Amino acid sequence: MAQAPLVKFRTQGHIAIFTLDRPKQRNAVNAQVSQELEAHLDAFEANDDLWTGIICSSAPERAFCAGADLAAISRRENIATAKGGFAGLTMRERTKPLIAVVGGPAFAGGCEIVLACDLVVANTNARFAVPEVKRSLVAAAGGLFRLPQKIPVNIAMEMILTGDPISAQRAFDVGLVNRLVPAEKGPQHLFDEAVKLANTINQNAPLAVQESKQLVDQLRLAEDSDAFLESYSVCADC
Q: Which residues are catalytic?
A: 112, 132
Kindly report the CA angle at 142 between 112 and 86, in degrees rounded to 5? 65
Alpha helices (H) in 16-106, listed in sequence order: 31-46, 70-74
85: helix, coil or strand? strand
Distances (CA, A) of 112 to 51, 62, 74, 89, 117: 23, 18, 21, 10, 9
Determine the Cα–Cα distance for residues 30 and 6; give it in Å rounded to an integer.
Answer: 10
Determine the Cα–Cα distance for residues 89 and 83; give it in Å rounded to an integer.
Answer: 8
- DSSP label of 5: P
Q: Estimate the share of the chain in helix, then strand, then coil, as percent rounded to the nearest 5.
A: 45, 20, 35
Question: Strand pairing partners for 81?
Answer: 85
Amino acid at 109: G
Q: Name the E strands within 85-228.
A: 85-86, 98-102, 105-107, 119-123, 127-129, 166-167, 179-181
Cα distance from N-terminal residue to C-terminal residue, the chain: 39
Question: Strand pairing partners for 85?
Answer: 81
